[in-house]
Amino acid sequence: MSDFKPFELERRQMIDVQLRRRGIGDLRVLNAMLHVPRHEFVPPEYLEAAYHDRALPIGRTETISQPYMVAAMTQVARVAPGDKALEIGTGSGYQAAILSFLGARVFSLELNPRLADAARARLSRLGFDGVDVICADGTEGYSPAAPYQIILVTAGSPQVPPALIEQLADGGRLVIPVGDLESQWLQLLEKTPEQLSTKWLDPCQFVPLTGKHGWPPSTLRAARFSRFHIV
């Protein structure tokens, strides 16, 4: 793992101001957010903003999520050591690193080959050996490692992709933003042998989920959307 000292003050301010005051109370999640070095996951030109309360660009349309949203999604997922987690949308690899720090075995899917390669190298360099980054269509899940106790989707979807529900283990938690291109609601789906329950959480705004069960390319070309999450 990276040295804890860089940006130590900024990290602690992030925990106290952005997270605790907004309802993030899970001590394990707060500890992970404190120790996983977000500054290692942002482009050099945004280094000084690494711990600000905002998403940051990592590509033409891709972002690294704001710290609060990462913490909120992780908290409701209730990650336990030994859980198998599927992440849809690797991006920079930051959310995957948080899940790994909490003891999950992570399979992270990224459709963009450039981002997948960069995240894979970054996570390896930082010592997050419990993460497999796979270049694939995340809307179809990853059946070779299913079922999963945790599935996190880090892009806004018009619907819950059916493959993700199928690959969710009994007792598993699926966290996904669902809505239109302009805004979504974060949803928590919990699966039992008897039913699939859905809880509506925070309003949010994510970049669009692409792939077979995401937003069609023709719709994306015609739309205008924000690059940043809004909570």
Predicted pLDDT of residue 218: 80
Q: Identify the active-site residue in 65, 92, 100, 108.
A: 65
Helices 67-77 and 94-101, interaxial angle, to 10°? 40
124 part of the active site: no
Rounded to the nearest 10 degrees, how much is the dihedral formed by the CA atoms of 176, 205, 109, 24?
Answer: -60
For the chain (231 residues), the mean pLDDT of every run of 10, in chain order, is 73 96 97 97 96 93 94 98 98 98 98 97 97 97 98 96 97 97 95 93 92 86 53 38
Residue ranges per structural domain of the chain: 53-222
pLDDT of res. 4? 56
Task: Please give the Cα distance from 69 to 204 (Å, whole number).
Answer: 9
pLDDT of residue 59: 86
What was the pLDDT predicted at 229?
A: 45
What residues have CB less than 8 Å from 38, skipping those under 6 apart? Answer: 11, 14, 50, 51, 64, 67, 94
Instruction: Answer left, alpha or beta for residue 61, where phi above 0 means left and psi between -120 and 50 means alpha.
Output: alpha
pLDDT at 224: 54
Examine residue 57 and say whether the peptide bond preceding it is cis (omega within 30 degrees of 0): no
CA atoms of 128 and 47, how far apart (whole Å): 21
According to CATH, what is the number of the domain 53-222? 3.40.50.150
Q: CA-CA distance, 215 to 158, in Å (whole number)?
A: 7
